[in-house]
Amino acid sequence: IMQNTSECGNFTFFNDYSYNIVDDFNHEFDYLFIDGDHRYDSVKKDFDDWYPKLADDGYLLIHDSTANRGGPYWWYGPSKLADELIDEQKLEYITSVFCVTVFKK
pLDDT digit string (tens) for 62-105? 999 999 888 777 789 999 999 999 999 989 999 999 999 999 99
Q: Which residues pair with 28 in a beta bridge?
A: none
pLDDT at 42: 97
Q: In this structure, is the dihedral angle defined by the CA atoms of residues 36, 37, 38 and 39, taken in order, positive or negative? A: negative
φ, ψ for residue 25 (rounded to 5)?
Answer: -95, 100
Q: Are 21 and 14 in contact (CB under 8 A)?
A: yes
Question: Which of 29, 57, 46 is CA-nearest to residue 81?
Answer: 46
**Which pTM was predicted?**
0.88
Torsion of CA 16, 20, 23, 28, to 10 degrees: 40
Q: Which residues pair with 59 in a beta bridge?
A: 31, 104
